[in-house]
Amino acid sequence: MGQSLHHIWTWLAMPRHGLALAVFIIGALGIGALFLGILCSVPARFRKGIVMAVTFIGGLYLSLEFLVPYKNVHTGKYPLTEVMPTVANLEIVIGCFALLLGIWNLFQIHGKTLMKFGKDWYNSAIFFLTFFSIAILGFLRDKGVHGTPEMFSILFSGFLLSLQSTTFSLIAFYIVSAAYRAFRIRSAEAGFMMVAATIIMLALVPVGALLTAWLPETGFLSAFRLERIGYWILTSPNMAAQRAIAFGVAVGALATGLRIWLSLERGSFFDRQL
């Protein structure tokens, strides 16, 4: 049984080119569509149970592979770990399908807006224009068509990266607005935050260093220079708070993962009939 599975995985993973690759992709898509059709034909009351079982088995394998390093005493290999590349490939395939569903959802939303000439329809038109432009140029660049690498670079580096930088720069105004609301001294905690923020800002600019430049650079009094106080705040209290937040986020992510793994999550999506 093990040898048969090994041969199957080897055949699936072997490189293919040309017509063989096209036939393999079409066959894989057909098998995937067949499985989806079978799943959709299952009665609704059993469908959710199948999804829960597949989710539990997938989470169980990843947990056992990480927590239980089982070693075959005869071969000296780790069977669970050897399957990990195949599982990683399956995760990539599932992620590609999720990406495809997201793209299809965008096409539906912007397509309806464009067909009805709804509000801001020109944004939908720009979406389709840019999507197909960069997709087509990307395919042609991979095929080695002359001139397409330069055009792809213009679209990607010249437009996309510039738009991302512009978007992130606009966030600075929202950060300033949020900082103004947060630093209004209405409590002792807000006062400490205001003092710490003022020290950090002064420590990072030359003016702050000039304010305490009269203090010696060595000895006990050197610890009261603004740049050193700011460095201590960043590396000690601030780092401790960041680690505490990261630890809390990790515990929350673990709890959420367990709830999804055991199908205990509830909400607008999880309570829907699949």
Residue finishing a domain among 120, 147, 182: 182
Q: What is the mean pLDDT of the chain?
A: 80
Q: Give the model confidence (pLDDT) of 187-241 as tens digits.
A: 777 778 788 888 888 888 888 778 888 888 788 888 888 888 888 888 888 899 8
Please tell me whether residues 40 and 114 are part of one structural domain.
no
Residue 158 is assigned to a structural domain of this protein = yes
Question: What is the enclosing helix (H) or strand (E) of 90?
Answer: helix 84-115
Q: Evaluate whether 264 touches 230 at the Cβ level (below 8 Å).
A: no
Write the Ramachandran bin of 104: left for phi over 0, alpha for psi from -120 to 50, otherwise beta: alpha
Band the pLDDT of 14: cuts 50, 70, 90. confident
Sequence-separated (6 or more) residues with CB below 8 Å from residue 223:
229, 232
What 3-state DSSP class applies to 274?
coil
The pLDDT, as a whole number, for residue 25 is 83
Residue 230 is assigned to a structural domain of this protein = no
Residue 114 is assigned to a structural domain of this protein = yes
Q: Evaluate whether 230 touches 206 at the Cβ level (below 8 Å).
A: no
Residue 178 is assigned to a structural domain of this protein = yes
What 3-state DSSP class applies to 185?
coil
Please tell me whether residues 112 and 170 are part of one structural domain.
yes
Structural domains counted in the chain: 2
Tell me: pLDDT of 273 over 60: no
| Residue at token pair 């399957």 | 83
CA–CA gap between residue 228 and residue 225 (Å, rounded): 5
Number of helices (H), then strands (E), in the chain: 12, 0
Specify the long-range contacts of residues 121-126, CB closer than 8 Å, at least 24 apart. Answer: none
Please tell me whether residues 34 and 76 are part of one structural domain.
yes
Task: Work out the average pLDDT over 70-84.
Answer: 69
Residue finishing a domain among 82, 98, 127: 82
Q: Which domain holds residue 41?
A: 21-82
The rounded percent of the chain whose pLDDT value lies above 70 is 88
